[in-house]
Amino acid sequence: MKVKICGLTDAAAVAASVRFSAAYVGFVFFEKSPRHLSYEAAKALSGEVPPGLCRVALVVNPTDQALDELLAAVPIDMLQLHGHETPERVSKVKALSGLPVMKAVGVAGEDDLPTLADYAQTADQILVDAKPPRDAGRPGGNGLSFDWRLIQGRRWAVPWMLAGGLNADNVREAVRLTGARQVDVSSDVEAAPGRKDPARIEAFLKAAMQD
């Protein structure tokens, strides 16, 4: 099982993610998020991540210029597109950045499932997340889940990661129902919005990686 701890904002949370064997750490670059980082802060945190652990930059509908500025300032291993980027835009971002790209796709019902297959043709990975409410200010990190039975037994052409409302108490059930081999968590390992709790990170990682 591979786990991504997303929305890290301080060194203690990074250290806990490393200590308890996260496979990915995520840094958010979206001003409406309580987890948003400046490039300077992200560069410092990125420097605390040892080789072999994937550093992911979450961005929302980034322009070419914004991507250039981010990648010039912060050492990153993967981009996560979390906006309304089209499959064509995913391909362009891959070409421009030279990095693997994960595309987040919101799911609320069966009508959303074909979109996952569409993005699996261009992205290096897909993040299967809960679709945010129409009035939500953020495209993710809202602590919401979807009916995991919708993707039970489904597979795509690229690796995929399950997100949305996961916590230490439900992650094993989510894995059982979906067959996920990668999971993502953010708000449910926080003591307050934007402030990760190392103890909750530890609990989630241990729960997710139980045999």
The type of residue at 26 is G
Q: Where are the alpha helices (DSSP H) in 1-156?
A: 11-19, 39-46, 64-73, 87-97, 113-120
- Local structure of residue 152 (DSSP, 8 states): T
Contact 67, 99 (CB under 8 A): no
φ, ψ of residue 50 to 5 degrees: the values are: -75, 160
* Angstrom distance (rounded) from CA 209 to CA 211: 6
Residues taking part in catalysis:
6, 129
